[in-house]
Amino acid sequence: MEPINDEIAREFRFFRVYKDGRIEIFYKTQKVPPSTDAVTGVQSKDVTIQPEPAVSARIFLPKIQDPAQKLPVLLYLHGGGFIFESAFSPIYHNFVGRLAAEAHAIVVSVEYGLFPDRPPPACYEDSWAALKWLASHGSGDGTESWLNKYADFDRLLIGGDSGGANLSHYLAVRVGSIGQPDLKIGGVVLVHPFFGGLEEDDQMFLYICPENGGLEDRRLRPPPEDFKRLACGKMLIFFAAGDHLRGAGQLYYEDLKKSEWGGSVDVVEHGEGHVFHLFNSDCENAADLVKRFGSFINQNATNLPEKVGGARVVLRDARGGFVEAGAWKIPALSSALHVEMQAVLHAVRLASQLGYHRVRLENDSSLAISIITTYVDSGYTMDLLAGDVLYSAASFTASKFVFVSRKK
């Protein structure tokens, strides 16, 4: 048996390479099984997307109140520099489950190939395979029952953190490049995104990804034509002030704003470090990140056919905690008022089914309420607070928040 050669050839942020060819990853990833959260009722299970090369996912399903209700779907891609971490690790299991509960959405958290066993571009191709697999359920006859039964593919989003945010950008560009009709992306969320920037991170990426274009590789420095191809109309970017990736993320944002993309982008910054929400999940800023992420998912009601609108409501308790959500398509809308009327009606009916008797609408819907008062049971009380009502080009109510209280 030959003696082990501990002489180091190269060392990077996440691993070192020995002269005998061994690679030592500094961070060991633990894994936990799927489960049902006793507090939120979110269920999870693991599925195989493809056997070879192996791609799998953990699917999170929020507590179902109405079996006929369809839920938004998020494809989530974890971080870890394409080297470590997992959709099955404790921190990602907990974060994604919390997000599924907050947004009342199905989340498909992808387990993709990592360096050194499967170096990039494996992670990009695995993520693409996962998105295509997810989209194959749009007709209701896919291999996964939760997606067939509950997923609303008119509300499909992509998101991820760090390296997973980089993968999310790549997927949105690839969808826009091929124009595949069964892949419609309502929005993209980038949390503390990785787009290079620091020399040590750039060199590490180029080392683990031998098939590269140097420092101007489009995965590190997206060119203007890639922004133009983004297959989404909305994007939300989270930054952390103390993040070593913050500078490159800002350049990405500025290039996006200058591009011919034509969509809208919102930015949220917290005075924290990189992916702080995973390691300090109980802090106030972590709760804010989850809440804003969930709100973006529920406000992102795109991809409805032209001349088709809908009514969407989100029921919350007096403290703002999530209770239930619903979305209904309404064909041949003639006015925004029609949308308002339908939204109020659906809110009241849904609240009634859940045992609530008092509804407070945080939208200026006084005219709609006055018109439909005769349809509301006499046991209901409705209080109105002034607010904003948002519409997309298809006259779809983009946000509708309804606060309710239970019967005593």
In a domain, 381, yes or no: yes
Query: Residue 347 sits in which domain range?
Result: 308-406
Q: Which residues pair with 190 in a beta bridge?
A: 160, 237
In a domain, 11, yes or no: no
Mark whether 154 and 191 lie in a shared domain: yes
In a domain, 73, yes or no: yes
Mark whether 249 and 347 lie in a shared domain: no
In a domain, 17, yes or no: no
Angle, helices 90-103/284-299, rounded to nearest 10 degrees: 50
pLDDT for the residue numbered 180: 73
CATH number at residue 237: 3.40.50.1820
Based on the number of CB atoms within 10 Å of its own CB, is 396 exposed (0-12), middle (13-18) or buried (19 or more)?
buried
- 347 sits in the region (left: phi over 0; alpha: psi -120 to 50; else beta) called alpha
Mark whether 280 and 327 lie in a shared domain: no
What are the catalytic residues? Answer: 162, 243, 274
Mark whether 195 and 333 lie in a shared domain: no
The span from the CA of 406 to the CA of 109, in Å, is 34
Q: How far apart are the first and last CA of the chain?
A: 76
pLDDT means per 10 residues in the chain (408 residues)?
79 96 96 96 98 98 91 98 98 98 97 98 98 95 96 95 99 90 88 96 97 95 96 96 97 96 94 98 97 89 37 55 55 50 62 62 50 45 38 32 46
Angle subtended at Cα 398 by Cα 73 and Cα 42, rounded to the nearest 5 degrees: 30
Tell how strand 71-77 and strand 55-61 pair up.
Answer: unpaired
Pull the structure tokens for residue 291. 């809440």
The span from the CA of 241 to the CA of 283, in Å, is 16
How many Cα atoms are found within 13 Å in the side-chain-facing hemisphere of 349?
14
Is residue 168 a contact partner of residue 159, using CB atoms and an 8 Å limit? yes
- Residue 24's nearest CA partner among 83, 89, 90 is 83
Mark whether 348 and 287 lie in a shared domain: no
In a domain, 179, yes or no: yes
pLDDT for the residue numbered 357: 60
pLDDT for the residue numbered 403: 45
pLDDT for the residue numbered 320: 52
In a domain, 6, yes or no: no
Is residue 392 a contact partner of residue 301, using CB atoms and an 8 Å limit? yes
In a domain, 1, yes or no: no
pLDDT for the residue numbered 299: 80
pLDDT for the residue numbered 295: 93
- Tally the domains of the chain: 2
